[in-house]
Structure 1
């Protein structure tokens, strides 16, 4: 009878145990038990090695040690296989913790890319010390509530906090299921490890490239919220949540159902809209107003922005505060506009004359702001009106870099010129207080069609579609206006009162049409979604796009210049098929 056992076998097992144990050194806390067990096994093997090296063993002892050795190696080999398969130890240099964090981020980002944290940071950073302003209204108050809850319960794992900032300009990305997913993401991201239900939901959808349903999100939201001692949900500007197709009603229904199942407290702000107030008619409601003290506090903090005649006169400063407080009647934004109207006044008489003309409503205040804009140098007036046009006509809020690139795009030029960029500070400064730019999220609260399509006509896009995800994402990063112009040129074209020559030229250019359609159609469902930029319709023509977007006058013009209705894309689909696809 022969035995496989030898001292060398135990040494190999010891080395494997130590290797696996080291790989868990920087791993998350949930792996501590596994790490401790492997350490114990390593110690046992070392003790056996020391013992057997100094003794002669009979066959029965060798047989038993052979069984022990085989059992240890089976356990260690299986553990190594699990690590190699699910954690990617080798590819991440043995750092299990980093790999697990990466997987965790992937799952959370898949739930929803929406992140309200930067907006919260922007808002709370603009708060006047010792008050609830600026705004003294919904959004600043919401940010203060979130900050208070986060500060008081940040170390209490038994309390969950989640918040939403609704924005009418972002209605396409703030559907009920997306907002519910954001609540789930926020309540989940503080848990370690991620709940099994969340991981299973991700696994169920990732291979099919599908998205979770609102019912799936709600069910998991209940299971995640159950263990919390208390959950706080904060919703700002509920009135700006899209009401069509029952979207807002569905959101409220799901949140109230969540409240019935778990220990949930809800705080929301809204304008007075009947269908919203009816849903909260049995709850505590407060009217939001700027107190006189807060308005004075704000004015005190900004007096240094006025001319020397004000800075040197405490009496004149008090006149300004008294007049504005009386005029605004609790509307803080009006106080801000009225204060801005005093900038540039160089004498006490000019200040007092302006104070006598203070408006008591927003309409007049905005008229006064426009008068100040039109009283600037011609270039400054033109710049301000361009900025306001972009902000009011854009299909979604623009980032500062997007606005800078849109502003710098020159018609009839073949490439973008960085030297033509106007810094965002110089755009904001000429707008008489009507425009602000957030520092962290870089969102600007704000003849567009021509600029959109001209941007795609630059030489940098002449190569057509990108052949890899890496190149495509590099193009997005390098060309800040690329994403917006690709998705929204057709909406601006649809609203235009006449045909725009630049649109026809753009749609007649094969390479530009293909690269813009790639940005329009490429959809990355999750972090590991490889080749997503290549799973798009190819050999798309301008006629396909015009038909898809229902731009009838443009379709007719393309027929006139020679494009034909039966032209096919790579998959053999004609423009009528594309038109039918998009309804």
Structure 2
């Protein structure tokens, strides 16, 4: 388990990558090419290496699930990814690629090929691991390019002290699958078990890992599963799950294609695998390997002539070819196969030592056939070491001790530095000069040097288990003491040295391996280190720098004991004078660290020394804040231990979270329940305005909101179900602890109000059933709002129904006039309208604007709700203040179906507005024929006058709507109706005439309108037509005229208006009708006199020709001639002079 600020560099015993750092198993070359490959490695594997942070927070996606899996107690602890990089880095450029082009591998890669399983068989040293790494690298690259493919892998190794079980193997493979998935592509089974674990279930049962792998694998088109040295795991049966390798392989989905390596064919036969590859060293690979060794070794290049090296290469290659050409017995073939790379490596190492020139044939004869024979093969080397001089033997023992026990391949520089330090108290080795090349000869072929990296390793991993080696080397305690001496004293002043860096990184790992020996010297060194704050801080900051993390000003030994899981040292350190509550520079105590890293035994040890549980760090976080960073099972035990010792669950950090609020928000349920249950009175406010129930409701709402944003994919649905179970469980617990629902907090918060706004129906029902007979359902918040109002305003319809069923007032009164029934009507929720009416909602209740629910239903054009309200007794004529009626609203919206519905239930169609206008008035004013038709069909009164005295027909004429005029005129019951006058005495026909609209004139006349009705000026439609020169109207009027000489209030007859209008055709029509040409108006003017006064020669001429007397006198005694001369109207005078001169022969004389 790692800390969010400190990285993953250390893990507790049994959970520590330092215990699993030795290289891969079968391998045939060893030179590191990391400088040439590192960029490529980053490209291919970087996307699969997310920063580890196991805290259950942030985005609920694939990354969070991977982090959660990595914290499971049953997961595989072997660094399979690092092992792959390690093996792949050993490849000599240009070797091994032939494996990718074999027909067997290409058929395995082809997803359509029927054979899904492929076995690679080869004996020890044949190069299976290297070839497997090439296949893995190739398939990872293809998976990166194609998201439908996935590649997962695992390396087994005899050197691993803790071999994974079958279940742990599938757990590791599942993690890799998830690394290649997007957040949206998570199997429902995986998401479900994650959510259950997050909100209550402790950990994944081991047997489930294989089922989860299958579920996740089917989401890909093809999954390539690659395992090295599967024979190591083949016979293992997990006591927990009782799964066998055979059982799981037989149940893999069809889209999973498996390739694995093994020592022989027995495993392939057991798993019923038909396709096999026999792995043997290739001549080209051997030649490349030998030449590369020669190029990278200065000694080999200098001490051997070129012809010798050529012979060496040819000899090794020749022997390899012979092993493939002849049909040897299996034992001989195995011997030759196992030996090609081993003998080449050993011989080149000995040449590099320049110890002797061995004959290759002699070495071949001693080749091992299997692991047992390998020990015999190496015995001469062990004997040479034992028989060497003291100095050589001491150096060899030291080199072999470090290559065997070191947590990573030690560099030559590290081995030399440690050797000199080990001889610190002896003067006989002080003057020795050592370099990397001088370390190999003393080991006599047991150790090989990586010239690229400068690291040492055993010639083969099998050597590590050899009894002769174990008898020869020193125990790991020597390395542990070396590390502690290095970091605990000033013996090494240069912190950048290899030995100091290694010691700072791996001292705890070595100490954990040997601490049971209880070595007094080792313990003294440990106390010297942990008791030295300066040295502890120096070592800590070196580790921080390696991982690019922030340094600290000071760290105590207690913190180191907590971090490195050393509970036995807590009492020793406090007894030595270290304050149990001493802090590091970030304000954290050792208890903070112990809780953060899940060190349960350290937590117990700290409390045994009276550690303070509520100390706050620089972020104001207590140790209990840190408890949620690891596996649930371990965290729960630590949390309970803290709570039982008075750790507060309600102290807030600077981020605003307390342990209680954090557990409520992010789970797991078990810890949140523990925190709630630890409170004596759950109604006590943890801070002003906040109780445990409020924390639950507030953070629970946040979780639900974050999930709702994920959409409706399978993962979010499963997470939503898990969150519901989490919240339900915690609510049940609070109710059991007698939480008060009607107790307001300091700021007026109420549980039921919050539940109405944001809660689920199930939780609300729990609360209401908890206090079934109380009036808590109608309790209002400081704003005066009830739970029902909040539920409806937040559109929580199910919540509102629950509230009403438990007694909410459906007719509640509010100062702002809010009504439940009106509220749901406004937003068109038919079911809620019906529900509230059935529960007694007042259909005629009004808001502060005087509107009822029906008003809003009509406004919303909602026929269903309108009908529902009406059938339930709603008054159709209720209208708000200064608001139109319901029928008017429906007509404005042209919703005639609702209008008809309202009319059929008593809506008033004759009601007038503030101007006295009826609905028909307004329809005609707007020119709205459909509405007018609807109203006329309901037999509304067409003769109603508005306050300006106008009828709907007047407005229809003013709108010049022919259809409207025809509609109303055709349905007028009498002439009196059609000739109603406005306040100025104008009839509809007068208005139509003044509009010069012949169609309207004809329509009105046709429907009985009188052209002789006078307005307040005494003018008729005929007068207006004559004055406007509207001859077509005059022609329409003439048949109905009884008195063509009718005059207006000024005495003007139609002929006068015709003269004034200046239209000769109008005069002609009137003359034909018999108009009197000598009639005088009130001013004593005849039509001819008016024409002279207008000086219109054409009109004067027309009148004279029609018979007008030019000598007839007006009331003032003047004739037309008099006016022509006196007014000097030249045009009229010319006409009259011509008449007098008799030039107009047909003029009638007086």
Q: Same fold (TM over 0.5)?
A: yes
Residue by residue, what CA displacement relative to the aligned partner does 1:32-58 show, whole Å, maximum 9, x if unpaired? xxxxxxxxxxxxxxxxxxxxxxxxxxx
- 1:388-537 matches, within 5 Å, as 388-392=400-404, 394=405, 398=408, 400=410, 410=422, 431=443, 434-435=446-447, 447-448=474-475, 450-451=477-478, 454=481, 479-490=504-515, 493=517, 502=521, 519-520=564-565, 530=596, 532-533=598-599, 536=602, 537=604
Does structure 1 conserve the Cα–Cα contact (< 8 Å) formed by 2:167 and 2:238? no
For residue 857 of structure 2, what is the aligned residue in structure 1? none
Deviations 1:99-125 (Å, cap 9, x if unpaired)?
979746634633656442332222223
Q: Could you tell me whether the CA contact under 8 Å between 2:396 and 2:442 is conserved in 1?
A: yes
301, 307, 313: which one aligns with 2:292: 301
| 2:151 equivalent to 1:139 | no
Comparing both structures, which one devotes a greater share of its residues to helix?
1
8 Å Cα contact 1:237-1:269 kept in structure 2: yes
CA distance in 1, matches of 2:511, 2:419: 16
Aligned match of 1:341 = 350
Task: Determine if contact 2:487/2:503 at 8 Å carries over to the other structure.
Answer: no
**What CA deviation, in whole Å up to 9, does each residue of 1:258-294 have, x standing for no partner?**
42x34211111112385x3442344223332213332
- Deviation sequence 1:123-168 (CA, Å, 0-9, x none): 2232223322995422112112212222344312222211100122
Secondary structure of the structure 2 residue equivalent to 1:385: helix
SS of aligned partner of 2:151: strand
Question: Which residue in the other structure is 1:386 paired with?
Answer: 398
Contact residue 258 and residue 264 of structure 1 kept, 8 A: no
Distance, in Å, in 1 between the alignment partners of 2:212 and 2:529 is 47
Question: Which structure is richer in relative contact order (CA contacts within 8 A, separation 6 or more)?
Answer: 1
Q: 1:106 aligns with which of 39, 42, 67?
A: 67
Deviations 1:279-334 (A, max 9, x none): 234422333221333222322222333545776433x2232123334557233223
Whether contact under 8 Å (2:165, 2:237) holds in the other structure is no
Gaps of at least 5 residues in structure 2 are 1-54, 98-123, 321-335, 369-373, 426-431, 465-473, 490-499, 532-556, 568-592, 609-641, 645-1150
In the alignment, what sits opposite 1:545?
none
Give the superposition deviation at 1:249: 8.4
Residue number in structure 2 paired with 1:267: 259
The answer to whether the 8 Å contact 1:411/1:454 transfers is no
Is contact 1:342-1:354 (8 Å) kept?
no
Any idea what the Cα deviations from partners look like across 1:470-517, whole Å, max 9, x if unmatched? xxxxx99972233322321157x4xxxxx9653686899997998768
Q: Is the 8 A contact 2:91 2:130 kept in 1?
A: yes
Corresponding residue for residue 250 of structure 1:
243
Take 1:207 and 1:428, find their aligned partners in 2: how far apart are those partners? 57
Q: Which residue of 2 aligns with 1:221?
A: 213
Among 588, 595, 605, the residue aligned to 1:538: 605
- Report if the CA contact (8 A) 1:400-1:424 is conserved: no
CA distance in 2, matches of 1:477, 1:385: 19
For residue 166 of structure 2, the aligned residue among 170, 176, 179 is 176
Q: CA deviation at 1:228?
A: 1.6
Q: Deviations over 1:186-229 (max 9, x none)?
A: 11111111615445434444577954222222222111111222
Under a length normalisation based on structure 1, what TM-score does the superposition of the two structures give? 0.56
1:358 aligns with 2:363: yes
Q: 2:154 aligns with which of 141, 159, 164?
A: 164
Shift of the 510–443 alpha-carbon distance from structure 1 to 2, 3 Å rule, reads closer
SS of match in other structure, 2:263: coil
Q: Go from structure 1 to structure 2 and tell me whether the alpha carbon gap of 1:309 and 1:222 turns closer, same or farther (over 3 Å shift).
A: closer
Is the CA contact (8 Å cut-off) linking 1:137 and 1:288 kept in structure 2?
A: yes
Cα shift at 1:232: 1.2
Kindly indicate whether residue 274 of structure 2 is the aligned counterpart of residue 291 of structure 1: no
Query: d(CA) in 2 for partners of 1:480 and 1:429?
Result: 29
Q: Take 2:479 and 2:203, find their aligned partners in 1: how far apart are those partners?
A: 30
Asked whether the equivalents of residues 225 and 262 of structure 1 are also in contact (C-alpha less than 8 Å), the reply is no
Contact 2:411 2:456 in 1 (8 A): no
C-alpha separation in 2, matches of 1:437 and 1:103: 42
Q: Does 1:321 align with 2:313?
A: yes
- Residues 502 and 344 (structure 1), Cα distance of their counterparts in 2 relative to 1, 3 Å cut: closer
Shift of 1:340: 1.8
CA distance in 2, matches of 1:280, 1:505: 54
Please say which of residues 138-147 and 190-199 is displaced more in the overlay.
190-199
- What TM-score comes out, normalization by structure 2 length? 0.31
2:607, 2:486 → 1: CA distance? 19
Structure of greater Rg: 2
Matched length: 411
Q: Is residue 63–residue 179 contact of structure 2 (8 Å, CA) maintained in 1?
A: no
Secondary structure, aligned partner of 1:358: helix
Q: Give distance in 2, aligned partners of 1:182 and 1:409.
A: 40
Indicate if the aligned counterparts of 1:107 and 1:199 stay in contact, CA closer than 8 A.
Answer: no
Rounded to whole Å, the distance in 2 between the matches of 1:528 and 1:539 is 9
Contact 1:341 1:372 in 2 (8 A): no
CA distance in 2, matches of 1:308, 1:533: 54
Is the contact between residue 453 and residue 506 of structure 1 (CA under 8 Å) also seen in structure 2?
Answer: no
Q: Structure 2 CA distance, aligned partners of 1:431 and 1:358? A: 18
SS at match of 1:129: coil
Q: For the residues of structure 2 that align with 1:326 and 1:219, how far apart are their CA atoms?
A: 50
1:127 is matched with which residue: 91, 106, 114? Answer: 91
Q: Residues of 2 paired with 1:408 and 1:241: CA distance?
A: 41
Instruction: Look up the SS of the partner of 1:290 in the other structure.
Output: coil
On the 8 A contact 1:398/1:443 being kept in 2, the answer is no
* Residue segments in structure 1 that go unaligned for 5+ positions in a row: 1-84, 89-95, 414-419, 463-474, 494-498, 542-569, 572-583
CA distance in 1: counterparts of 2:601 and 2:519, whole angstroms: 31
